[in-house]
Amino acid sequence: MSEKSIFKRIIDKEIPADIVYEDDLCLAFRDLSPQAPTHVLVIPKKEIKSVATITDQDQALIGHLYLIIRNIARELGLGNGYRVVANCGAEGGQTVDHLHFHLLGGRQLKWPPG
Ligand code: DGP
């Protein structure tokens, strides 16, 4: 039986996603349940479960992900601002055990989050 997470299945193209960017290291696709007019998930292709399990060896990869987030935000016209969120663990509200950064924008976002 497959232990693959839903995001690993998207990386492997076993299930479809609305992909906005892809390279050797990462994939970005639109969230199935958007919480803002623009809601993109940016994920490493490497199977990292969460922020809590990032290793020192992942330093360049995480930097790469943030540069890609910056580029996608520019390309999607989020010049007025946006939010980047990584939910971590049960109390952090993480529901998919594959590291992902939410890129949210296109409306005024509130603070604090719920
Ligand atoms: P989090 O709660 O931080 O773990 O965010 C998981 C997000 O993943 C949530 O906003 C919904 C989204 N999501 C879950 N399953 C799928 C899927 O199959 N496709 C896409 N595009 N997004 C998904």
The 10 Å CB-count burial string (b at 16+, else e) for 64-98 is bbeebbeebbeebebeeebbeebbbeeeeebebbb
Encoding tokens for residue 27? 């994939």
CATH 3.30.56.10 assigned to 6-105 = no
Confidence at residue 3, expressed as pLDDT on a 0 to 100 scale: 84
Note the pLDDT of residue 75.
Answer: 98
pTM of the model: 0.97
Determine whether the shortest distance from the Cβ of 57 to ligand 1 is under 6 A: no
Q: What is the pLDDT of residue 66?
A: 98
Q: What is the mean pLDDT of residues 77-105?
A: 98
Q: What does the mean pLDDT of the chain come to?
A: 97
Going from N- to C-terminal start, the domains of the chain cover 6-105
93 lines ligand 1 (CB under 6 A): yes
Tell me, what's the pLDDT at 2?
55
